[in-house]
Amino acid sequence: MADQLEVPPLEPRGFAVESNGLNVIDDAERKGTPRQLFWPWFGANVSVLGLSYGAFALGFGISFWQAVVAGLVGIAFSFLLCGLVALAGKRGSAPTLVLSRAAFGVRGNKLPSLISWVLTVGWETVLTILATLATATVFERLGWGGGSVTKVVALVVVGTLIVACGVLGFDLIMRAQAVITIVTGVLTIIYIALVADQVHWSTVSALPGGSNAEVIGALVFLMTGFGLGWVNMAADYSRYLPRTASSRGVVGWTTFGASIAPVVLLIFGLLLAGSSEDLSGAIAADPIGALAEALPTWFLVPFVIVAVLGLVGGAVLDIYSSGLALLSVGLPVPRYVAAFIDGLVMIAGTIYVVFFGDEFLGQFQGFLITLGVPVAAWCGIMLADIASRRRDYAEADLYDRSGRYGDVRWLPVATVLIATAIGWGLVTNGSASWLTWQGYLLDPLGFGGKEGTWAFANLGVLFALVAGFVVQLIGGRSQVQRQEELPQRRQDVEV
Alpha-carbon gap, residue 117 to 123, rounded angstroms: 10
Nearest-5° Cα angle at 350, 344 to 356:
130
Give the C-alpha separation, 203 to 139, whole Å.
Answer: 31
Q: Where are the domains of the chain?
A: 29-362
Q: What pLDDT shows up at residue 252?
A: 96
Computed from CA positions of residues 427, 356, 119, 212, in that sequence, does the dihedral angle turn out positive or negative? negative
For 416-478, give the DSSP string.
HHHHHHHHHTT---TT-GGGTT--TTTTTTTS-GGGSTTTTS-HHHHHHHHHHHHHHHHHHHH
Which pLDDT belongs to residue 493? 46
pTM over 0.95: no
Q: Are 300 and 141 in contact (CB under 8 A)?
A: yes
User: Which of 474, 369, 377 lies closest to 416, judged by CA?
Assistant: 377
Closest CA to 373 of 174, 157, 220: 220
pLDDT at residue number 430: 65
Biggest CA–CA distance in the chain, Å, is 69
Complete DSSP assignment for 11-72: -GGGGSPP--SSSPPPGGG----GGGGHHHHHHHH--THHHHHHHHHHTTS--HHHHHHHHH
Protein fold of 29-362: Hydantoin permease (1.10.4160)
User: Would you say the C-alpha torsion 105, 419, 82, 128 has a positive or negative sign?
Assistant: positive
End-to-end CA distance of the chain: 34
The pLDDT of residue 360 is 62
- Give the pLDDT confidence score for residue 453 in this predicted structure: 85
* Contact in structure between 377 and 411 (CB atoms under 8 Å): no
Amino acid identity of 232?
Answer: N
pLDDT of the residue at 10 = 39
Whose CA is closest to 272, among 294, 300, 253, 301?
294
CB 262 within 8 A of CB 45: yes
Task: List per-block mean pLDDT (blocks of 10 residues) for the chain, which spans 495 residues.
Answer: 47 62 87 90 84 90 96 96 95 93 96 92 86 81 76 86 80 74 84 90 94 93 90 91 92 95 94 89 77 82 82 84 90 89 90 74 71 94 95 91 94 97 89 80 92 88 96 92 78 46
Q: What is the pLDDT of residue 361?
A: 57
**How far are the Cα atoms of 187, 229, 455 from residue 78, in angstroms, in the given order?**
26, 9, 22
Contact (CB, 8 A) for 62 and 214: yes
Q: Is 340 exposed, middle or buried (0-12, 13-18, 19+ CB in 10 A)?
A: middle
- Residue 78 near residue 227, CB atoms below 8 Å: yes
Q: Do residues 55 and 274 make contact, with C-beta atoms less than 8 angstroms apart?
A: no
